[in-house]
Amino acid sequence: MDIPLSYYLLLSGILFACGVLGFLIKRNIITIFMSIELMLNGVNLSFVAFAAHWHALSGQVFVFFVMVVAAAEAAVGLAIIIAVYRTRETLNVDQVNLLKL
Amino acid sequence: MAGAVNLLVQSHPINSALSLIVVMGSLAAEYLLLGAEFLAAIQVIVYAGAIMVLFLITIMLLNAGKEERTKGSRIATLLGVPGVLIGGVLVAWTLLHRSDMGSVPIGALWGDPKSIARLLFHDFLLPFEVTSVLILIAIMGAVVLASRPETGARAARKDG
């Protein structure tokens, strides 16, 4: 049983679009971070689909690197969120408009 | 996909995080279908395990409540929603009907860890090492950023 490649690409595009939408309309900074993770996952799905289509294993290695970078980014970003919350007592991005207190 | 939409709809961060876990799990199932079982395992362990636990701990630590909504401008809604719909339909139609791309067989059982490891440690050795340095820097940055501001101030006082 075969699944057309375009279905995978469509699902990947939908996931990426959901990520962009969440990034734009959400006001909670943690939810914005989760939207970024969603975008990375959409790109990963298209990487794997193309790797399976072209029989090129390097696509999966790239997915591996994307996951590693996403993990590092999540760790640093959540640390930044904690630091911001300590100084400002809020998670709303509209109220975090100055880098310096 | 339902999980992704739910992530947008939910207003409480915990519910968004749980639906993101659903998305990660179904993506791991997709990877299994595509025959990349190593990546499926990595997806479950790294994303659904580590990163989501990190998110949930942060949400609980910061005691995040419901978010307040901001009202967007009316013109953006009026123009944006039909524009997004038209663009999405166009892209989907192009992808589904005008493409002569082939299809992907289910369960090719092809991305076994052995060949991935050979590729990773021979052809992509330099990016691998650079990634390890990046991880190290990220760990140090996270520890420095998340440490208490009093200790940082004390250290600065000791320095100066």
Q: Give CA separation, A42 vs A1, A73, B147, in Å.
A: 23, 17, 33
Q: Tell me what pLDDT residue B160 has.
A: 46
C-beta contacts of B17-21 below 8 A and 24+ residues apart: B17/A30, B17/A34, B17/B52, B17/B55, B17/B56, B17/B59, B20/A34, B20/A37, B20/A38, B20/B52, B20/B55, B21/B48, B21/B52
Which chain A residue has its CA at the smallest distance from B13's CA?
A31
* Mutation choice for A interface testing from B18, B26, B34, B63 by most A CBs within 10 A: B34
pTM of the entire predicted model: 0.78
Q: Tell me what pLDDT residue B3 has.
A: 53
Contact indicator for B17, B33 with CB cutoff of 8 Å:
no
Say whether the ipTM exceeds 0.95: no
Q: Tell me what pLDDT residue B71 has.
A: 60
pLDDT, one tens digit for every residue, chain B (160 residues): 555 555 555 556 677 777 788 888 888 888 887 777 788 888 888 888 888 888 888 888 877 666 566 566 677 677 777 787 888 888 777 777 766 666 666 655 566 777 777 777 888 888 888 988 988 998 888 888 877 766 555 555 555 4
| B131–A69 CB contact, under 8 Å | yes
Q: Amino acid identity of B72?
A: G
| B96–A10 CB contact, under 8 Å | yes
Q: Tell me what pLDDT residue A101 has.
A: 61
Buried b (16+ CB within 10 A) or exposed e, B45-55: ebbbeebbebb
Residues of A in contact with B115 (CB under 8 A): 57
Select the residue of A34, A61, A85 nearest B17 (Cβ to Cβ). A34
Contact indicator for A44, A66 with CB cutoff of 8 Å:
yes
User: From the CA of A98, how many Å to the nearest CA of chain B?
Assistant: 17
Distance, CA of A15 to CA of A12 (rounded, Å): 5
